[in-house]
Amino acid sequence: MLALFLREVQPAVQTGLVVKWFAALPVQIGLYLLLVLLPLGALAIGGTALLRSWRRDTEFREAAQKIFTIGRAHAASLLIAGATLTAAVILCLVAMHMITE
């Protein structure tokens, strides 16, 4: 995804080669391996590391519980902040699309 973005923003950078390489791969390798299995593997490894830390580290558990408590207390403000950030990202993407056309 970063290569696609950089190819549009900075065409002089050689990211177009990465995009061409990915497009030339057979569908099974490109789609299933690179876009599904690698992120799924990262999710599994990250989840395992977090679970291990959760079981072994009491300070980590206490910090996470404090974060959840603060999050519940300020849920409305966090929701508004998340929606505002999402709107800003969408607006930037639309602006980039308009600039490139």
Predicted TM-score (pTM) of this structure: 0.52
Residue 9 lies in a domain: yes
Q: Which of 41, 21, 24, 44 is nearest to 33 (CA)?
A: 41
Quick one: pLDDT at residue 27?
Answer: 67
Quick one: pLDDT at residue 44?
Answer: 97
Residues 64-93 have a mean pLDDT of 95
Residue 46 lies in a domain: yes
Residue 71 lies in a domain: no
Q: Between 68 and 2, whose confidence is greater?
A: 68
pLDDT in tens, 19-75: 677 777 776 666 667 677 888 999 999 999 999 999 999 999 999 999 999 999 999
Q: Between 45 and 14, whose confidence is greater?
A: 45
Domain range enclosing 29 = 2-56
Q: Which of 3, 13, 21, 6 is nearest to 100 (CA)?
A: 6
Residue 66 lies in a domain: no
CA distance 40 to 74: 32
- The total of structural domains in the chain comes to 1
